[in-house]
């Protein structure tokens, strides 16, 4: 096992009965000037917008709506302007991962004089980890990213076709996780979120440290939970146990716990972020297309068979003595599960009809994701292009 530090102070309020009783004080403990950040129409349709405004009626609320999926730099720039102009004390993010991610970077940008894109790509000496950050309180409405209990954000600059992750100094101060708020998430978005959860788990399961049984065991349990409950949530959107299991699995999958002591890993996310950067597709859908193709490619390296056979036995409940066959069957099971959620399974189905940008995307993914140095199996630009082509 590798050395690690693990520190995660996010205050989690999980379940149905926290928001009305606790939201006001959770926000007001940081001050009166609140930047209320949200996405499109979903929180207005569900009534959550009015509920929040009612609960915080005595505070100074400044609003930043319209944060889009794959949150764009323009929203962060506008948030920076508002945070400075109104001397914001606390950001209340209400929505999915895109809203929370944008809010975290706005929280840093209040204390930065230049363009917030510098903070994302660490240009012009900008470093979020030496800046203060406005505290974030969030009400999560979609189970997927784990942003509600981690230090990461992913921001897109559509002008340059760049989508990059950035780590801040703090995870959210308080996260309200009420599974009932996810009951209005449409089926395709529920599928995408569940695939994202599953991908966070595979990215950390398939790492180079083969002695880390503590993490692998936790991941196997979380994988079985998302495999079991995603189809239930899609068939029966108001099933509380399904929504609750997906929500807590999402949080636990990417709060730093199950990746502690790992060595390397994380390939498919770097490949997917290029798809979203060039084509603005839904993150989880892109992961669902790429993951089985990446697995097929990885399995050509025979040193991976033993771990895939363990994945087959402990996650997919397959049995047998032939590890190579079990490994292949596990990849097929993965493909079939993703397809069963109704997700698109090829790039043309999401509008990526040819290989026009594959060379540039592959080069960037390998470079930015450090896939030669850090990948579970090292990925060269030629390998990355092959995985994209196999997904056509
Ligand atoms: O904008 P609104 O109207 O709110 O609609 C959203 C949006 O259209 C809708 N939605 C959210 N909650 C809903 C709902 N619709 C009905 N009922 C509800 N309760 O869902 C759509 C997608 O929302 P979004 O926030 O984009 O989804 P998600 O939570 O999957 O976030 C995706 C973003 O997070 C990044 C992704 O790359 C992507 O940009 N990631 C962030 C990570 C992190 N911070 O750690 C890690 C992940 O790997 C990921 O990269
Ligand atoms: Zn993800």
pLDDT in tens, 281-313: 999 999 999 999 999 999 999 999 999 999 999
The residue to mutate among 37, 40, 42, 197, having the most atoms of ligand 1 within 8 angstroms of its beta carbon, is 42
Indicate the residue among 182, 214, 248 that finishes a domain. Answer: 182
* Domain assignment of residue 20, given as a range: 11-182
Token match 């948030």: residue? Answer: 79
> Can you tell me the mean pLDDT for 365-375?
96
Residue 288 within a domain: yes
pLDDT at site 243: 98
pLDDT at site 211: 92
Residue 6 within a domain: no
User: Which protein residue has the closest C-alpha to ligand 1 atom 16?
Assistant: 185
User: Which protein residue has the closest C-alpha to ligand 1 atom 2?
Assistant: 40
Same domain, 139 and 202: no
Sign of CA dihedral 183, 279, 351, 338: negative
Does ligand 1 lie within 6 Å of residue 325's CB atom? no
Same domain, 69 and 199: no
pLDDT at site 302: 97
Same domain, 282 and 168: no
Residue 229 within a domain: yes
Band of pLDDT at residue 255, cut at 50, 70 and 90: very high
Q: Rounded to whole angstroms, how far apart are CA atoms 29 and 47? A: 25
Same domain, 201 and 172: no
| Shortest-distance ligand to the CA of residue 288 | 2
Tokens representing residue 231 in the block: 């189809």
Indicate the residue among 132, 147, 182 that finishes a domain. Answer: 182
Percent over 70 (pLDDT), the chain:
100
Does ligand 1 lie within 6 Å of residue 72's CB atom? no
Does ligand 1 lie within 6 Å of residue 291's CB atom? no
Does ligand 1 lie within 6 Å of residue 70's CB atom? yes
The residue to mutate among 68, 69, 288, having the most atoms of ligand 1 within 8 angstroms of its beta carbon, is 69
Residue 70 within a domain: yes
Does ligand 1 lie within 6 Å of residue 292's CB atom? no
pLDDT at site 74: 98
> Can you tell me the mean pLDDT for 203-231?
97
Give residues whose Cβ lies within 5 Å of ion ligand 2.
Answer: 196
- Cα of 199 vs centre of ligand 2, distance in Å, is 7
Closest alpha carbon to 148 in 269, 30, 246: 246
ipTM summary value:
0.99
Which residues, at least 6 apart from 225, have a Cβ–Cβ distance to it below 8 Å? 245, 249
- Note the pLDDT tens digit of each residue in 26-38: 999 999 999 999 9
How many domains, in total, are found in the chain? 2
- Cα of 142 vs centre of ligand 2, distance in Å, is 13
- Note the pLDDT tens digit of each residue in 54-108: 999 999 999 999 999 999 999 999 999 999 999 999 999 999 999 999 999 999 9
Same domain, 27 and 168: yes
Same domain, 169 and 211: no
Average pLDDT, rounded, for the chain: 97
Same domain, 303 and 332: yes
Does ligand 1 lie within 6 Å of residue 356's CB atom? no
- CATH code where residue 17 lies: 3.40.50.1970
Residue 1 within a domain: no
Token match 């009305």: residue? Answer: 20
Same domain, 144 and 203: no
- CATH code where residue 253 lies: 1.20.1090.10
- Cα of 143 vs centre of ligand 2, distance in Å, is 11
Residue 268 phi, psi (nearest 5): -65, -35
| Shortest-distance ligand to the CA of residue 255 | 1
- Cα of 31 vs centre of ligand 2, distance in Å, is 32
Residue 210, pLDDT > 90, answer no
Same domain, 307 and 340: yes
Write the DSSP assignment of 243-281 as a string of letters: HHHHHHHHHHHTSSSTTTT--S---HHHHHHHHHHHH--
- β-pairing verdict for 60-64 and 90-95: unpaired
Does ligand 1 lie within 6 Å of residue 182's CB atom? yes
Same domain, 113 and 49: yes
Indicate the residue among 154, 182, 210 that finishes a domain. Answer: 182
> Can you tell me the mean pLDDT for 254-275?
96
- Cα of 187 vs centre of ligand 1, distance in Å, is 13
Token match 């140095």: residue? Answer: 373
pLDDT at site 270: 97
Same domain, 23 and 172: yes
Do the Cβ atoms of 331 and 292 come closer than 8 Å? yes
Residue 301 phi, psi (nearest 5): -90, 110
Same domain, 169 and 316: no
The closest-lying atom of ligand 1 relative to the alpha carbon of residue 96 is 25
SS3 of 237, please?
Answer: coil
Residue 143 phi, psi (nearest 5): -90, 115
Residue 2 within a domain: no
Does ligand 1 lie within 6 Å of residue 269's CB atom? yes
Q: What is the DSSP letter of 72?
A: B
The closest-lying atom of ligand 1 relative to the alpha carbon of residue 38 is 4
Residue 95 within a domain: yes
- Cα of 32 vs centre of ligand 2, distance in Å, is 33
Q: Tell me how far the alpha carbon of residue 40 is from its chain's centroid.
A: 19
| Shortest-distance ligand to the CA of residue 101 | 1
Band of pLDDT at residue 183, cut at 50, 70 and 90: very high
Residue 364, pLDDT > 90, answer yes
pLDDT at site 308: 98
Does ligand 1 lie within 6 Å of residue 286's CB atom? no
Band of pLDDT at residue 142, cut at 50, 70 and 90: very high
Do the Cβ atoms of 271 and 199 come closer than 8 Å? no
Residue 4 within a domain: no
């Amino acid at each position: 096992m590798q050395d690690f530090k693990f520190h995660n102070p996010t205050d989690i309020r999980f379940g149905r009965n926290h928001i009305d009783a606790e939201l006001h004080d959770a926000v007001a403990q940081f001050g009166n000037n609140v930047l209320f950040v949200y996405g499109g129409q979903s929180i207005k349709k569900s009534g959550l917008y009015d509920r929040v405004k009612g609960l915080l009626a005595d505070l100074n609320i400044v609003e930043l709506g319209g944060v889009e999926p794959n949150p764009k730099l323009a929203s962060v720039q506008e948030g920076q302007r508002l945070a400075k102009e109104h001397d914001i004390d606390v950001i209340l993010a209400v929505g999915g991962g895109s809203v929370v991610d944008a809010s975290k970077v706005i929280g840093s940008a209040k204390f930065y004089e230049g363009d917030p894109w510098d903070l994302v790509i660490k240009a012009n000496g900008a470093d979020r980890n030496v800046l203060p950050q406005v505290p974030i309180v969030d009400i999560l409405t979609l189970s997927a990213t784990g942003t509600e209990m981690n230090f990461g954000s992913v921001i897109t600059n559509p002008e340059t076709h760049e989508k990059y992750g950035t780590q801040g100094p703090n995870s959210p101060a308080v996260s309200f996780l009420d599974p009932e708020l996810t009951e209005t998430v449409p089926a395709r978005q529920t599928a995408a979120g569940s695939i994202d959860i599953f991908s966070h788990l595979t990215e950390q399961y398939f790492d180079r440290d083969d002695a880390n049984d503590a993490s692998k065991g936790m991941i196997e349990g979380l994988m079985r939970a998302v495999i079991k409950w995603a189809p239930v949530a899609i068939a029966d959107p108001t099933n509380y146990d399904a929504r609750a299991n997906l929500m807590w699995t999402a949080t636990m999958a990417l709060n730093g716990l199950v990746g502690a002591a790992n060595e390397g890993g994380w390939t498919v996310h770097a490949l997917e972020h290029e798809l979203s950067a060039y084509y603005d597709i839904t993150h989880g859908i892109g992961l669902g297309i790429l993951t089985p193709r990446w697995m097929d490619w990885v399995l050509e390296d025979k040193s991976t068979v033993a771990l895939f056979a363990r994945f087959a036995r402990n996650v997919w409940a397959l049995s047998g003595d032939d590890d190579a066959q079990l490994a292949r069957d596990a990849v097929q099971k993965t493909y079939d599960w993703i397809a069963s959620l109704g997700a698109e399974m090829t790039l043309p189905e999401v509008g990526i009809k040819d290989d026009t940008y594959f060379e540039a995307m592959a080069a960037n993914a390998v470079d930015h994701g450090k896939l030669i140095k850090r990948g579970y199996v090292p990925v060269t630009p030629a390998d990355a292009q092959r995985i994209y082509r196999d997904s056509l």
